[in-house]
Amino acid sequence: MPKKTIDDIDVRGKRVLARVDFNVPQDEQGAITDDTRIRAALPTIHALLERGAAVILMSHLGRPKGKPDPRYSLAPVAERLSALLGQPVPLAPDCVGPHVETLAHALQPGQALLLENLRFHPQEEANDPVFARSLADLADIYVNDAFGSAHRAHASTAGVAAYLPAVSGLLMQRELAALGGALDNPERPFAAVIGGAKVSSKLAVLRHLLTRTDLLLIGGGMANTFLRAQGYEVGKSLLEADLIDTARALLDEARQAGAQVVLPDDTIVAERVAPDAPHHSAGIAEVPPDWFIVDIGPKTRALYARTLSTCRTVLWNGPMGIFEMAPFAEGTRAVAQAIAALAANGATSVVGGGDSVAAVEELGLADQMSHVSTGGGASLEFMEGRELPGVAALQDK
- Enumerate binding residues for ligand ADP (CB under 6 A): 196-197, 201, 220-221, 238, 293-294, 317-319, 321-322, 324, 353-356, 376, 380
Q: Would residue 353 show up in a list of annotated catalytic residues for this protein? A: no
Provide the β-strand partners of residue 143. Answer: 18, 167
**172-175: long-range pairs with CB below 8 Å, 24+:** 172/3, 172/5, 172/144, 172/145, 172/146, 172/147, 172/391, 173/3, 173/5, 174/371, 175/147, 175/371, 175/373, 175/374, 175/375, 175/378, 175/379
CB of 247 to ligand ADP, least distance (A): 15
Task: Determine which one of 207, 354, 385, 386 is catalytic.
Answer: 354
Q: Which of 198, 207, 248, 386 is catalytic?
A: 198
Q: Judged by CB, which is closer to ligand ADP: 64, or 220?
A: 220
Which listed option, Mg ion, ligand ADP, none, makes contact with residue 373 (CB within 5 to 8 Å by class)? none
Q: Which does 197 bind (CB under 5 to 8 A by kind): Mg ion, ligand ADP, none?
A: ligand ADP
CB of 237 to ligand ADP, least distance (A): 6
In the complex with ligand ADP, the residue whose CB is nearer, 89 or 357, is: 357
The residue from 3, 15, 19, 37 that is catalytic is 37
User: Looking at 62, 66, 235, 377, which residue is catalytic?
Assistant: 377
How far is it, in rounded angstroms, from Cα 329 to Cα 276?
13
Distance between CA atoms of residues 133 and 160, nearest Å: 6
Nearest approach in angstroms of CB 376 to Mg ion is: 6
Q: Is there a catalytic annotation at residue 181?
A: no
Residues that bind Mg ion (CB under 5 A): 354-355
DSSP of 119-135, one letter per residue? GGSHHHHTT-HHHHHHH
DSSP code, position 3: B
Residue 377 annotated in active site = yes
User: Beta partners for 70?
Assistant: none
Smallest distance from the beta carbon of 14 to Mg ion, in angstroms? 39
The residue number with the shortest CB distance to Mg ion is 355
By DSSP bridging, strand 279-283 and strand 292-296 are unpaired
Nearest residue to the partner ligand ADP, using Cβ: 196
Residue 260 to residue 342: CA distance in whole angstroms: 20
The residue (of 45 and 308) whose beta carbon lies closer to ligand ADP is 308
Whichever of 136 and 294 has its CB closer to ligand ADP, that residue is 294
What 3-state class would DSSP assign to 32? strand
- Looking from the CA of 246 toward its CB, the CA atoms found within 13 Å total 18
Annotated catalytic residue 12: no
Cα separation, 137 vs 175, whole angstroms: 28
Q: How far is the CB of 209 from Mg ion (least distance, A)?
A: 17
Comparison of 298 and 354: residue with beta carbon closer to Mg ion? 354
Please check whether residue 118 is in contact with residue 124, taking contact to mean a CB–CB distance below 8 angstroms: yes
Catalytic residues: 37, 198, 354, 377
